[in-house]
Each structure stands twice: as structure tokens, then as C-alpha cells.
Chains A and B, each alone.
Chain A
Amino acid sequence: MSVHAGLRVAQHEARGAEGERDGVAALAGAPGLAGAPAEAGSRSGPGLSGWTVRVHAAPGSPQGSRGVRLHALLAPLDLCGLRLPPLEVELGADGWAVGRVGGETLWRIRLPETRALSALYLSDEVAWLPLPDGVPDSVQVPDGVQVPDGVRVPDRVRSRHDGGPPEGAPCAFPFALPLAVKPWTLRALGALPAGEVVARDDDVTYVLPPRRAETRVPVALLVLLEGRGRRVRLRPLSPGAVFLALSRQPSSLQLARHRARAFAGLAGLLRTVPAVGLVTPSPAAGAAALLKILP
């Protein structure tokens, strides 16, 4: 069995019109960005963004049916990645699946008999595990996963579920940061906020909120917080202004391995989503103002 999946990532076309004022704004040093790639593309069969995935199994074998299941699981899977080499997944008759890129084995995983756990994908520091709906969005890496020396697998991997905004829509891939509840906060609250305690560091407790987005979410507006003021003020920001402003913050553009992808991602987002700067006396007042202008 051979399943060949691919996605051509199309570039947004937004050729510039001539402007009315001069300007070269430059920043030496650390630029930054917070955003996710907004991809527009045409799919040809099931695909992963930027990936070509080939699944191999002997015809008529039990692994063949696993291949079909893997094929079905891959369809909704969406990875952030560009110009990635083909990923070869071989479902062996010995009950193991092997993932290779360029002939190099990246991982081996024992195929479960009954569960839909079919493959583990490594992309930089992130491991992705395609899972059906109804399972947590983060799971423990199974003991059966074996990887060669030098390839680090995190203890937990994120799964991806179907759903979310239409293909090509600007979107963000949410991730949840645990709340760091400090002693004085805990005293003020009287009890820990709802959620899962994921770590403790001295007297700080880290709590993962229970309500989290499980899949990509549409982005309608990019908001830069520009400090506090006595009145709520919103002002439109050009893409260049957003780049310069975000360049002063910690972001993916400061991570050498992610800079190019982060730049392309933010550029794609800013071609389709407006940006505003927000000055507000309080988060609540700012939220109310934003709700008024959201489409």
C-alpha cells in the first residue's frame, strides 16, 4: 500500500501599490513576532502543510488496514512547516512502524492492536501524534517509542484534531501556558484556580487551565498592547509597524531555527488580518473596545 499525501503551500499575492511617503525604518538586533503561519493552499488528497508523507505496508496485511487508518488520521492533521523533506512511514509486519526522512530513521513505534495510535512525528522540538477526537490534546509518549541517539522526544506530545477554521483562513495554533500561582496570589484567592497542577517550583504552583482551545482558531484581528492610559485608544497599525513593534518582544523571530518560518507566518497573517495598537486603562476596558470593532 502506498499513500502519497502532499500540500502545496501557496503564497498570498499582495503586490504593493506605491506609497505616498518615504521611509526606511530599520532595526538592528533582535526582531520578534508572535503569530502563526497563515497558509493558503490547494490540497491534493490528504496532506500535511509542507510535508509529503508516504505510508508503506504490505498489500493485504494487517498493517495495510493500519495504513488506511493512518491515512484517515493524516487527513485532518496540519503541521506548521515549509520545505520539509518527504517523510516515509513504513508499517512493518513485525508490528512496528518506522519513520524515515532522507533514508535516516527518525523513530520507531510499536503499533497498538486496538487503539488508533498510529504514528509519531517529530518536527524540531515538537512531536505530533495523530489521534482521533475524544482524546486529550496532550498525551504521554508511549513507552514503545524508540528514537535514535540525538533525537529528543518530549515526555508529552500534542495531538491534533479535526475541525477549526476553513482551509487557508488566517489562524493561530493555540498553546496553553500554566498559570504560575505565587503564594501571595494563593492567599488572596483562598484556593488554587480550577485546572490541573502540572508542576511545583518552591512555593510556586503551576496550574494548567481547564478550558483551552483544542485546535487552530481563526484570527480576525491582531492587537498590540501599547501600554496603559487613562482612556482607551485604538489606532491602526501597518504591517511594518507591527514587525517593528514585535521585534522588541521575545518571540519566534529571536530563535535562530524558527526565524524564517516565523517571518513568513507573520507576513502571511498581516496580509489578511488588520492590526491595531491598544492603549487602555485596564484589560477589561480594552476588551470592551475590541469587541466593538471585531467583525
Chain B
Amino acid sequence: MTGGAVTAPSSAPVSGPRLAARFATEAARFATEVVLFDPEDGRLVVLSGAAASVWTACDGRAADEVARAAGLGVRRVRRILRDLERAGAVAREGAGWRQRACVEV
């Protein structure tokens, strides 16, 4: 999976519009993954590899700063950010990107 594409188990297809809804999450960090969970409706999003790094760096920085922090190319980071936005994991904040409100467990 390159560019942080949104994927889902075949038994549970994911649609962009549905995922674009507000995503109040809890987050669990692991060595190379971040698992986001919405206790309200039970939605689950797993970020692995570069996507996890990009999500971690989304503290209001612009895309190029996120790329620098994550050690990735800007074009690749922009693709990942779009996927994360569709998944409801990050939101635009002015010129920057920020994680949706979440509590780490």
C-alpha cells in the first residue's frame, strides 16, 4: 500500500463520505502502528508505517513541515494526508493539519 491509501477488510467496505464524519477517537500507539477507535460508533482505523508517522506529526504543521518531521517526501505526505482526512483522522486547520481530538490509551 503506497501513499497511505485507505483500505478495509473486504467484509466491511469503507466509503469516503462516511469516514469523513467527525471522528472522536481514542488512539493506541504501537511500535509501527497507530490504532484509532471511536467508542461512539465503534469505528476503527489502523495507521501503519508512514501513515502512522504522518498522523503523529499532525500537530498543526503545514504539509511540508509534516513531511520533514516524518522524514518523507512532500508529495507522498500530501497523498497520505488526503487519506487520513477521508478517514476522519486529521483535519485541516488553516494552512496546517491537526489530529482529530483524541485520547491516547
- Closest Cβ–Cβ distance, residue A33 to chain B (whole Å): 10
The yes or no answer to A194 lying at the interface (CB within 8 A) is: no
Residues facing B in A246-295 (CB within 8 A) are: 247-248, 253-254, 256, 259-260, 263-264, 267-268, 270-271
Most buried by B among A26, A243, A254, A264: A26
Asked if A23 and B8 make an inter-chain contact with CB atoms under 8 angstroms apart, the answer reads no
| B30 interface neighbour in A14, A247, A253, Cβ under 8 Å | A14
Taking a contact as CB atoms under 8 Å apart, the answer to whether A16 and B30 are in contact is yes
Give 1 or 0 for each of B33-76: 1 = CB within 8 Å of chain A CB: 11101010011111111111100100000000000001100001
- Distance between B20 CB and nearest chain A CB, rounded to angstroms: 11
Q: Are A23 and B9 in contact (CB under 8 A)?
A: no
Closest to A20 in B: B49
Task: List A contacts of B70 (CB < 8 A).
Answer: 18
Across the interface, name the chain A residue whose C-beta is closest to B51.
Answer: A24
Interface membership of B96, Cβ < 8 A: no
CA distance A253 to B29 in the complex (A): 18
Q: Which of A209-256 contact B (CB under 8 A)?
A: 238-241, 243-244, 247-248, 253-254, 256
Contact A14 B29 (CB under 8 A): yes
A146: interface (CB < 8 Å): no
> In this complex, what residue of A is CB-closest to B28?
A267
Q: Determine if B105 is an interface residue (Cβ-Cβ < 8 Å).
A: yes
Task: Flag whether A134 is at the interface (Cβ < 8 A).
Answer: no
Task: Please give, as numbers and ranges, the residues of chain A lying within 8 Å of B8 by CB-CB distance.
Answer: 25-28
Let me know if B43 and A31 touch, CB within 8 A. yes
Number of chain A residues close to chain B: CB under 8 A:
38
Q: Which residue of B lies closest to A258 (CB)?
A: B39
**B28 vs chain A, min Cβ distance (A):** 4
A28 to B13, CA, bound (A): 7
Q: Which residues of A contact B32 (CB under 8 A)?
A: 16-20, 238
Shortest C-beta distance, A124 to chain B (Å), equals 15
- Measured CB to CB, the closest approach of chain B to A17, in angstroms, equals 6
A176 at the binding interface (Cβ < 8 Å): no
Q: Is the CB of A240 within 8 A of B48?
A: yes
Q: Report whether B12 and A29 are in contact in the complex, using a CB–CB cutoff of 8 Å.
A: yes
Bound together, the chains give a CA A254 to CA B15 distance in angstroms of 20
Q: When the two chains form the complex, which single residue of B18, B71, B80, B104 contacts A22, counting CB atoms closer than 8 Å? A: B80
A240 and B35 contact, CB distance less than 8 A: yes
Q: A26-B7, A26-B8, A28-B15 are in contact. Are A16 and B48 (CB under 8 A)?
A: no
Given A24-B51, A248-B12, A259-B42, are A238 and B30 neighbors across the interface (CB < 8 Å)? Answer: yes
Chain A residues, CB < 8 A from B89: 24
Residue B14 at the chain A interface, CB threshold 8 Å: yes
Contacts of A241 in B (CB 8 A): 46
Q: Is A101 an interface residue (CB 8 A)?
A: no
| A15 within 8 Å of B (CB atoms) | yes
Q: What are the 6 A-B residue pairs with the smallest beta carbon separation, nearest first?
A: A19-B49, A23-B48, A267-B28, A19-B32, A240-B46, A21-B49
**Given A18-B52, A24-B48, A24-B84, list of 18 further CB < 8 A pairs?**
A16-B29, A16-B32, A19-B53, A23-B7, A23-B46, A24-B1, A24-B5, A24-B7, A24-B80, A25-B9, A26-B8, A26-B45, A31-B43, A31-B44, A238-B48, A248-B12, A263-B105, A267-B35
Residues of A within 8 A of B (CB): 11, 14-31, 238-241, 243-244, 247-248, 253-254, 256, 259-260, 263-264, 267-268, 270-271
Q: List 10 A-B residue pairs with CB atoms under 8 Å apart, sorted by A's residue number.
A: A15-B29, A16-B29, A16-B52, A23-B48, A25-B9, A238-B33, A254-B42, A260-B39, A267-B35, A270-B30
